[in-house]
């Protein structure tokens, strides 16, 4: 049976708890050992002092080595032992015969320790040994007479030394208290640490982070846009396949300054200013790209920046396809609405038995629609523009306005260097602006005029409406982003987009709106245009 997988917070808490437990346990053992050594040294010094005192006593010096001397020496030794608290005091002659011992039956017997030799040779020292009463520290001091010139015996003073386990047992309550307190503090600290780590990781488990990282990498690589990210030091942290293709670099650029492979990059400027830049065109390695750059913030501090790059050629192709589809969808919607009205009219004439009028009506509307469709397909060779004009024609009918498409209009070729998407944006927004203007005047005066003519060398187009006109004050602001005289939402971008797209191809736009007169927009776009990088 597989063990349940522990969460990161639980792992951190358990590991921290175990580390605290081990640290406290090891610290306790080390401290007890240190105390044991200190106690042993202190007891050694005390026993040596007692042994020296006894060795200098006249009664000891005069009776050691003499028959019956134990009767005098034993009481002195026992009295001293009891008053000082040592385990034993043994006084020996030069033959290692005991003259005193805590166990009186052993008096007269031979000393059994193996560490006596140096003491019989007139040496003073401490010894650690396993004696009859257990492990002990004992002091050996020679007994001398004749002003210290002749040795007559040895004084041995011993004190039993407790083992580490005995010390642990003696202080077990203190150990339990310290260990318990340490574990409680460690547990609280480990839980706090686990919580902080989880918060720093957005409460994600390691496997979730790995999964998100793999997903992020997969998304970055699968995107059709190039992505480059830098840190606060302007060093590249992320660059996906599409970005490497656009810039002509490999993965070795990761970790290097972004200026190294893109001297003109604006990503560093975004990092310093904190201001995002959107839909900015640049030419990189001969390819026109559209880029967006935004700063990366953490706790109101800029910690990096990221840029996305899209090949504008691909964008223009997609925009062209989308615009064409939208134009035809709009045209179909308008045609469906208009045809329903026409069918209702025909049905009414038939119910009134006005059969000839019904036939005449059918022929008229069919001829009008066929004529317009034929004209657009013959003179406007791009399906996106043709669909756009057809849709705007129907849109005008919905507004009870008239869209007059000059029959001298002709666009057999698109000017060199001009994307069809630019023309769609310019024409679509100018016509929509004109229809919006005439919708505010009374019926019968709602008229929009459209003319276009061009080839590879360039084109000109004109949009004229019978709306309310544009004052001189407003005329200065109509191309500003967000400016509008209509209070409806999603307004204020149409003419701004017109101006921006015309500037991209080095074209120009003229606006005429005399007081009480028609408003005219004229656009001139030359051919053989090179895109302007920014």
In a domain, 129, yes or no: yes
Last residue of a domain, one of 245, 279, 311: 311
Dihedral in degrees, nearest 10, Cα atoms 288, 294, 296, 301: 140
How confident is the model over 253-263, as pLDDT tens digits?
888 888 776 65
Calculate the alpha carbon distances from 507 to 411, 512, 520 in Å. 17, 17, 17
d(CA 298, CA 274): 12
The mean pLDDT value for 373-379 works out to 86
Q: What is the average per-residue pLDDT within 429-456?
A: 88
Residue 74 has pLDDT above 70, yes or no: yes
- The domain boundary, picked from 118, 151, 167, lies at 167
pLDDT number for residue 135: 73
509 in the same domain as 401: yes
**Considering the chain, what percentage of its residues have pLDDT values greater than 90?**
12
In a domain, 207, yes or no: no
- Per-residue pLDDT of 176-195, as tens digits, reads 777 778 778 777 877 787 77
The stretch 478-493 carries a mean pLDDT of 63
Whether residue 20 has pLDDT greater than 80: no
Q: Report the CATH number that the domain containing residue 400 is assigned in CATH.
A: 3.30.565.10
Confidence class for position 141, pLDDT limits 50, 70, 90: very high
The answer to which of 3-17, 57-71, 290-304 has the lowest mean pLDDT is 3-17
Same-domain check for residues 320 and 258: no
User: Is the same domain home to 352 and 283?
Assistant: no
Whole-number pLDDT of residue 156: 92
pLDDT tens column, 395-415: 888 888 899 999 999 998 888
Examine residue 30 and state whether it is found in any structural domain, yes or no: yes
Q: Is residue 336 part of a domain?
A: yes
Percent over 70 (pLDDT), the chain: 80
- Looking at per-residue confidence, does 309 or 368 come out higher? 309
Q: Which of 91-105, 259-273, 372-386 has the lowest mean pLDDT?
A: 259-273
Pairing of strands 236-239, 402-405: unpaired
Count of domains for the chain? 3
Q: How confident is the model at residue 27 (pLDDT cuts 50, 70, 90)?
A: confident
Question: Are 280 and 234 found together in one domain?
Answer: yes
Same domain, 273 and 391: no
pLDDT digits (tens, 9 = 90+) for 339-364: 666 666 767 767 777 767 666 666 66
Which residues lie below 8 Å from residue 252, measured CB to CB, with a gap of 6+? none
Provide the mean pLDDT of the chain. 79
pLDDT level of residue 212 (50, 70, 90 thresholds): confident
Range in 44-58, 177-191, 226-240, 316-330 with the lowest mean pLDDT: 316-330
Residue 177 lies in a domain: no
Do residue 305 and residue 340 come from a single domain?
A: no
CATH at 130: 3.30.450.20
Which alpha helices (H) appear in 380-516, and where do they start and end?
383-398, 420-438, 472-475, 494-504
pLDDT at 459: 92
**Residue-number span of the structural domain to which 108 is assigned:** 8-167
Which range among 112-116, 325-329, 377-381, 393-397 shows the weakest confidence by mean pLDDT? 325-329
Query: Tokens in use for 201?
Result: 């990781």
Using CA atoms, how far apart are residues 47 and 125, in angstroms rounded to an integer? 11
pLDDT attached to residue 490: 46
Tell me the C-alpha to C-alpha distance, in Å, between residue 475 and each of 256, 514, 517: 49, 11, 14
Does some domain include residue 205?
no
pTM: 0.42
**H-state helical runs in 56-113:** 58-63, 70-84
Whether 373 and 251 map to the same domain: the answer is no
Non-local (6+) Cβ contacts of 142 within 8 A are 55, 119, 120, 122, 123, 124, 151, 153, 154, 155
**510 and 388 share a domain?**
yes
Q: What is the number of other CB atoms lying within 10 angstroms of the CB of residue 146? A: 9
Q: Is residue 191 part of a domain?
A: no
Decide if 101 is inside a domain.
yes
């Amino acid at each position: 049976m597989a063990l349940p997988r522990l969460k990161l917070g639980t792992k951190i808490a358990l590991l921290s708890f175990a580390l605290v437990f081990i640290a406290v346990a090891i610290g306790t053992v080390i401290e007890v050992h240190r105390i044991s050594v200190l106690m042993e040294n202190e007891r050694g010094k005390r026993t040596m002092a007692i042994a020296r005192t006894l060795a200098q006593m006249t009664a000891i010096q005069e009776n050691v080595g003499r028959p019956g001397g134990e009767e005098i020496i034993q009481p002195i030794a026992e009295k001293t032992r009891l008053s000082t608290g040592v385990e034993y005091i043994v006084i020996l002659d030069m033959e290692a015969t005991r003259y005193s011992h805590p166990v009186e039956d052993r008096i007269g017997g031979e000393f059994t320790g193996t560490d006596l030799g140096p003491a019989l040779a007139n040496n003073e020292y401490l010894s650690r040994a396993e004696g009859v009463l257990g492990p002990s520290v004992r002091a050996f001091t020679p007994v001398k007479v004749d002003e210290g010139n002749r040795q007559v015996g040895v004084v041995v003073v011993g004190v039993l030394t407790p083992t580490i386990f005995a010390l642990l047992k003696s202080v077990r309550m203190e150990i339990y208290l310290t260990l318990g307190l340490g574990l409680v503090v460690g547990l609280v600290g480990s839980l706090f640490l686990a919580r902080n780590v989880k918060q720093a990781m957005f409460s994600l488990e390691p496997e979730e982070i790995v999964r998100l990282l793999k997903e992020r990498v997969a998304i970055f690589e699968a995107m059709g846009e190039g992505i480059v990210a830098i840190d606060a030091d302007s060093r590249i942290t992320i660059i996906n396949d599409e970005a490497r293709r656009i810039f002509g670099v490999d993965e070795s650029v990761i970790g290097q300054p972004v200026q190294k492979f893109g001297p003109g990059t604006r990503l560093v400027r975004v990092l310093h200013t904190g201001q995002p830049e959107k839909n900015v065109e640049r030419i990189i390695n001969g390819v026109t790209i559209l880029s967006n750059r935004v700063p990366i913030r953490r706790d109101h501090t800029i910690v990096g920046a990221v840029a996305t790059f899209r090949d504008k050629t691909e964008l223009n192709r997609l925009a062209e396809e989308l615009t064409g589809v939208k134009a035809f969808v709009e045209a179909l919607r308008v045609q469906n609405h208009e045809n329903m009205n026409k069918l209702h009219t025909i049905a009414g004439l038939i119910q009134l038995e006005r059969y000839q009028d019904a036939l005449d009506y059918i022929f008229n509307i069919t001829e009008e629609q066929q004529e317009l469709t034929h004209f657009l397909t013959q003179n406007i060779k791009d399906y996106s523009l043709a669909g756009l004009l057809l849709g705007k024609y129907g849109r005008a009918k919905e507004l009870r306005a008239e869209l007059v498409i000059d029959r001298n209009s002709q666009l057999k070729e698109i000017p060199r260097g001009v994307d069809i998407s630019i023309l769609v944006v310019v024409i679509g927004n100018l016509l929509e602006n004109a229809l919006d203007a005439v919708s505010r005047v009374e019926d019968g005066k709602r008229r929009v005029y459209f003319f276009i003519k061009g080839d590879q060398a360039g084109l000109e187009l004109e949009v004229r409406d019978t709306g309310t006109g544009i004052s001189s004050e407003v005329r200065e602001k109509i191309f500003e982003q967000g400016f509008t005289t209509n209070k409806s939402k999603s307004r204020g971008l149409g003419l701004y987009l017109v101006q921006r797209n015309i500037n991209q191809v080095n074209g120009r736009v003229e606006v005429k709106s005399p007081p009480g007169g028609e408003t005219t927009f004229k656009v001139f776009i030359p051919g053989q245009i090179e895109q302007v990088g920014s």
